[in-house]
Amino acid sequence: GAGVSQSPRYKVAKRGQDVALRCDPISGHVSLFWYQQALGQGPEFLTYFQNEAQLDKSGLPSDRFFAERPEGSVSTLKIQRTQQEDSAVYLCASSLAAGQGNSPLHFGNGTRLTVT
Amino acid sequence: AQSVTQLDSHVSVSEGTPVLLRCNYSSSYSPSLFWYVQHPNKGLQLLLKYTSAATLVKGINGFEAEFKKSETSFHLTKPSAHMSDAAEYFCVVNDGGFKTIFGAGTRLFVKA
């Protein structure tokens, strides 16, 4: 069965470029999360979607970060005018339930973004 | 507000000896607690979860964790380490809202 798929696996961007990271969640999963994982750190919450609705974006570090999930399945995380501090692994996770804390998360392998 | 503290950034054990990875949490509500494992170049995988049923939770690969409310702890244990257990382990808390909070991680080294 297909798991959570993220693309690209690796992305190198020059400072100031815009990037778009894609997440294909498990089919039928209502909840979708984006996390940022800096080197040597645990994943940090960025944003949460319940179907197509973005219910929590409190973790997005600046207005250069934007996420969408227009049809309630595939999601895109966009970073405008990338900065070196944006270099990290961006993880996408989905879960079957809607906003329930006890549902396990299914993670993709992440996109490693390096800003030079 | 919820938070989680993993008390050791690195733990080193010999193969065949017990493993203890320590986690303390803070939550305003009755939390759900999880342990995830991350092998190099692989995605995060759920080891086990606690959701207010039995306080001793059994997970995959022989791991288990005990929820102790009085100590606000959720330590991960395994009786006998295997080389394949070497990985990064994350303790995770959720108080029923949208955010799931990860600890900083504990890297487990297993010596032959």
Residue with tokens 């690969």: B61
Q: What is the pLDDT of residues B89-100, one digit of tens each?
A: 999 998 777 788
Query: Is the Cβ–Cβ distance between B61 and B55 less than 8 Å?
Result: no
Confidence at residue B95, expressed as pLDDT on a 0 to 100 scale: 77
DSSP string for B85-96: G-EEEEEEEE-S
Give chain B's residues under pLDDT 70. Answer: none
Q: What is the pLDDT of residues A53-63, one digit of tens each?
A: 999 999 999 99
Residue in B37, B88, B98, B102 to test binding to A, most A beta-carbons within 10 Å: B98
Confidence at residue A102, expressed as pLDDT on a 0 to 100 scale: 67
Q: Which of B32, B36, B46 sits opposite A101 (nearest CB)?
A: B32
Q: What is the pLDDT of residues A58-99, one digit of tens each?
A: 999 999 999 999 999 999 999 999 999 999 999 999 998 876
Residue in A30, A33, A107 to test binding to B, most B beta-carbons within 10 Å: A107
CA distance A33 to B108: 27
Q: B3 to chain A: nearest residue by CA?
A: A44
Distance (Å) of CA A48 to CA A72, A93, B80, B107: 12, 10, 38, 27
